[in-house]
Amino acid sequence: MEVIIMDKPVIQLHDLSKSFNKHVVLDHISTTVEEGTILGLIGPSGAGKSTIIQLLLGSETADSGTATVFNQVMPNRELLGNIGYMAQNDSLYEQQSGRENLIFFGRMKGITKQDIPSSVEHVTNVVDLGDALDKRVSTYSGGMKRRLSLAIALIGNPDLIVLDEPTVGIDPALRRHIWQELHRLKAEGHTILVTTHVMDEAELVDRVAMLLNGHLLADDTPEKLKNKYHVNSIESVFLKVEEENK
């Protein structure tokens, strides 16, 4: 497969700060994510990962600084059709089938009636949900709901894919398959932002951004970070960064 090399910024965070009830969640965060890049955002619960996503999607506004997507300052509702988003908490229509959910969200993204069947089939195969596709979502296990949420994020082939803890509750074999698909999408020029608590997954991204106490403390390739801290895993890098910033 030919890998497409891109250098066009898709996400730009500039001096971004956000507080809730005087608690600083993000403190002057700046970074850029280029087209065709997988950025892994890691950090403990409460570090600000989900807040960055909310600012990127325009569901929250920054106290200062800017969040730009496709060179447009967020919030900008017109861009949402070109962003695939999977939240930590599944937002599904539980009384409908998985197929009905995919059709609904696909049409919301502007997929034509003619293209919906092939789009649904593709994302269903990616997340291995075929046998349950016509069952009511209320009968799904937690892991199956996560798989459906991921399929909804991927439908329509969006240029930017934002995934908040996408593999929680998913078995290792399917996790491997999902990461293969993410790398295929990246090779086609899609940009992917993924948050994860699974440190092994942080080895699979192009860049790792580490958040701690609202600060961006590291932002580089996995190999460069491991070399910098003289360790052999991203988990060890994170532990060293955390120790340095206590």
Q: What CATH class is the domain 9-244?
A: alpha beta
Strand ranges inside the chain, DSSP E: 9-20, 23-34, 38-42, 64-69, 72-73, 83-86, 160-164, 191-195, 207-212, 215-220
Distance CA 6, CA 136 (A): 41
Residue-level pLDDT, tens digit, the chain, 246 residues: 334 444 689 999 999 999 998 899 999 999 999 999 999 999 888 888 989 999 999 899 999 999 999 999 988 888 888 999 998 888 899 999 999 999 999 998 889 999 999 999 999 998 888 889 999 999 999 889 988 999 999 999 899 999 998 888 788 888 888 899 899 999 999 999 999 888 888 999 999 999 998 999 999 999 999 999 999 999 999 999 888 887
**Cα–Cα distances in Å, from 19 out to 45, 76, 214, 215, 219?**
16, 21, 10, 13, 22
Full-model pTM: 0.89
Query: Which residue is it, tokens 């701690």?
Result: 212
Axis crossing angle, helix 234-244 with helix 222-229, rounded to the nearest 10: 60
Q: Give the domain ranges of the chain.
A: 9-244
